[in-house]
């Protein structure tokens, strides 16, 4: 994976997976003044980039399809790591669980979703393209 200069263990992105994306967008625009740009993430479909003060600070996506099951709308935080696969290999030995195995995000990098021993969920990401500037 490429070295993007991200510090290992740094929170780098926040993302909303929403059951009602239009309502969420309207809510956060009214509450926080966020603006949005849309992008096509290929297999993932449309992705909403959250902008504040002229910079990207996070993202949003519509939760469509059976893959989401009964999961409610939720925020996910991403932490930069130099090698997602290596970190994923450590999770179970440390008492955690892999929720989503290491997966490529075309044009972005590679991520995994994990749970710590208490059940808290977090995503780890290794950027292969320039990370968001936040």
Residue 105, class by beta-carbon neighbours within 10 Å (0-12 exposed, 13-18 middle, 19+ buried)? Answer: middle
Would you say 3 and 82 are in contact if contact means Cβ atoms under 8 Å apart?
Answer: yes
Distances (CA, A) of 120 to 75, 83, 98, 111: 12, 21, 12, 17
43 and 108 Cβ atoms separated by less than 8 Å: no
Record the pTM: 0.84
Q: What is the pLDDT of residues 73-100, one digit of tens each?
A: 999 999 999 999 999 999 999 999 999 9
What does the pLDDT look like over 21-68, one tens digit per residue? 999 999 999 999 999 999 887 677 789 999 999 899 999 999 988 888
Q: Which domains does the chain have, with CATH numbers?
A: 11-127 (3.10.180.10)
The Cα 43–Cα 24 span in angstroms is: 22
């Amino acid at each position: 994976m490429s070295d993007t200069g991200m510090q290992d263990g740094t929170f780098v992105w926040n993302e909303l997976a929403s059951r009602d994306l239009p309502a969420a967008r309207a809510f956060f625009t009214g509450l926080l003044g966020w603006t949005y740009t849309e992008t096509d993430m290929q297999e993932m479909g449309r992705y909403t980039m959250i902008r504040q003060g002229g910079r990207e600070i996070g993202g949003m996506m519509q939760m469509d399809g059976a893959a989401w099951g009964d999961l409610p709308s939720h925020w996910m935080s991403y932490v930069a790591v130099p090698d997602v696969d290596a970190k994923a290999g450590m999770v179970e030995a440390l008492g955690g669980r892999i929720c989503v195995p290491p997966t490529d995000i075309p044009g972005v990098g590679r991520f995994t979703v994990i749970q710590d021993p208490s059940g808290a969920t977090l995503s780890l990401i290794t950027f292969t393209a320039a990370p968001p500037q936040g």
